[in-house]
């Protein structure tokens, strides 16, 4: 997507004192309902639902991967991991907010495990590319995992280690994925309405998501 903003993009992470000031609240409306699943976009969801926030490049294609995954209750796209409060898409694309484009995935762990959500994440993009994903370049396209439970955090590290072995065998470099808790990453900000379920609204829209073709081993679930 970065062709929309050209030379404004950054390949160096902004420091807090140089980040954009941001806003005191949303400057746009956030929809209430998922256009594909018909479930609440912002919750509440059924008791026991878990959430995890994943960055894997352009969030349009990434979100579609997860709303199609059995056991997923809802998805949304947004911005997280940076410094600027309530950023806009245009601000995030400058690289001066520190945020990544991310997908919040709400899922039923009785149907799809933490590990299987993460296996889908690893296999659906190239986590060795640093501040880019394919042709999309900039810190906002970095690979990220922001966890909300200790079990997710353990599964993230376990699947990362297992996938690194497979990637190394296939000739890929080191995984650069940022793994930390959602609390450490800071607030999750919902993206603008037109980004939510973008590829459902625009079936022929841009999708820069592409995996390595390397499968992630299935670890033992806790």
Q: Could you tell me which of 201, 182, 183 has the C-alpha nearest to residue 192?
A: 201
Catalytic residue among 58, 93, 207, 216: 58
The DSSP output letter for 83 is S
Three-class SS of residue 107?
A: strand
**21 to 2, 45, 52, 85, 139: CA distances (angstroms):** 22, 32, 27, 7, 18
Nearest CA among 124, 125, 144 for reference residue 186: 144
Could you give the CA distance from residue 196 to residue 191 in angstroms, rounded to a whole number? Answer: 7
How many whole angstroms separate alpha carbon 110 and alpha carbon 48?
Answer: 9
Task: Classify 7 as helix, strand or coil.
Answer: helix
Question: Is 93 an active-site residue?
Answer: no
Instruction: Tell which residue, 177, 175, 155, 168, has the closest CA to residue 57.
Output: 177
Instruction: Give whole-number Cα distances, 185 to 144, 146, 168, 174, in Å.
Output: 10, 7, 28, 22
Q: Which residues are catalytic?
A: 58
């Amino acid at each position: 997507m970065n062709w929309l903003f050209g030379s404004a993009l950054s390949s160096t992470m902004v420091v807090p004192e140089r980040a954009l000031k941001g806003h005191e609240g949303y400057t746009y409306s956030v929809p209430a309902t998922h256009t594909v699943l018909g479930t609440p976009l912002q919750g509440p969801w059924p008791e026991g639902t878990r959430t995890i926030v994943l960055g894997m490049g352009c969030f349009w294609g990434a979100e579609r991967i997860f709303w199609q995954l059995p056991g997923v209750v809802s998805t949304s796209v947004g911005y997280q991991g940076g410094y600027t409060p309530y950023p806009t898409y245009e601000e995030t694309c400058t690289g001066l907010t520190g945020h990544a484009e991310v997908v919040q995935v709400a899922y039923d762990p009785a149907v799809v495990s933490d590990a299987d959500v993460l296996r889908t994440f690893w296999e659906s993009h190239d986590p060795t590319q640093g501040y880019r994903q394919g042709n999309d370049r900039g810190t906002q396209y970095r690979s990220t995992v922001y966890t909300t439970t200790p079990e997710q955090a353990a599964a993230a590290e376990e699947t990362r280690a297992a996938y690194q072995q497979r990637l190394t065998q296939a000739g890929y470099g080191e995984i650069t994925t940022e793994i930390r808790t959602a609390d450490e990453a800071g607030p999750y900000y919902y993206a603008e309405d037109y980004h939510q379920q973008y590829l459902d609204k625009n079936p022929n829209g841009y999708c820069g998501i592409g995996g390595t073709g390397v499968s992630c081993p299935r670890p033992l679930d806790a």
